[in-house]
Amino acid sequence: RLKGRDWLEGDRLTIADLAMSPYLALAAQGGVDLAPYPRIRAWTSRIAARPDFPPIKGWVAEADLSARAEEMM
pTM greater than 0.85: no
Q: Encode 4-52 in three state secondary structure.
A: CCCCCCCCCCCHHHHHHHHHHHCHHHHCCCCCCCHHHHHHHHHHHCCCC
Which pLDDT score, from 0 to 100, does residue 34 have? 87
pLDDT digits (tens, 9 = 90+) for 8-64: 999 999 999 999 988 888 888 888 888 899 999 999 989 988 888 887 777 876 655
Is the pLDDT reported for residue 65 higher than 50?
no
